[in-house]
Amino acid sequence: MTPLQRFRALLFSVQMYPMMFIIGLLFAPWAIFSKKGARTCCKTYSRWIFWTARWMVGIRCEVRGTPPQGEVLIAAKHQSFLDIMMIFTALPTAKFIMKKEILRTPVIGQYAKLLDCVAVDRGKRGAAIEKMVRDVDAGRQEAGQLIIYAQGTRVKPGVKADYKVGTGVLYEQLQQTCVPVATNVGVMWPRKGIARHPGVAVVEFLDPIEPGMNRKEFMKTLEQRVEERSDELMREAGFEPDGLHQ
């Protein structure tokens, strides 16, 4: 990065957090009493980030494929904060399965609760999966798109990480269509630090996986589709995945 690019990336990163607080506060009276208000707030903030990312650091955000409208399971690859915003904004009534610690994060945690996101304790895998299934069942009165990050965490471009069994458990339990999502956003927006690199950040909704597969077959199909397409998107952005293992 040139000195100018570093300076612009710093300004971009600095403005993100005050604007999160300001927009969250402005929408709070509506959001407290309405999930529509909470969703509108989160999408307004996300669109602010997309706009500022484009002119401040040269990142253009692009959603490909067909975002589902009904009640489905979304199994996505996760590379940075940017793909969270892009996926959420593309969907009409989305909520996330997320680690419990996020609930203590200012603004994000409060809005996650308002949207009925499902929090799990990743330190206790078996209990976390059982609780996740119970919480999902309890929240199904509001049809929508349930988003799970199949690898359980942000994964650096070029690094291979296992797909977690919780996605397969949900697929079997919910008996819903699963829509895989591939991405390359980590090439432009790394998971750590303030570096930002110009380019086209893509999240792509792939062909759905219908219910009825056994867990092993489903997990193999999901990983193959997401990893192959994510590698293609990263190559499109000028990054060659090297197949390293985490």
57-103 per-position pLDDT tens digit: 999 999 999 999 989 999 999 999 999 999 999 999 999 988 888 88
Q: What are the strands, taking DSSP E only, across the chain? A: 59-64, 72-76, 94-99, 118-120, 145-149, 159-160, 178-183, 199-205, 244-245
DSSP state of 32: T
What are the structural domains of the chain? 60-237 (3.40.1130.10)
CA distance 191 to 188: 10
Tens digits of pLDDT across the chain (246 residues): 788 899 999 999 999 999 999 999 999 999 999 999 999 999 999 999 999 999 999 999 999 999 999 899 999 999 999 999 999 999 999 999 888 888 888 899 999 999 988 888 766 656 666 666 676 666 555 668 999 999 989 999 989 899 998 899 889 988 899 999 999 999 999 988 899 999 999 999 999 999 999 999 999 999 999 999 999 999 999 998 874 433
Three-state DSSP state, 77? coil
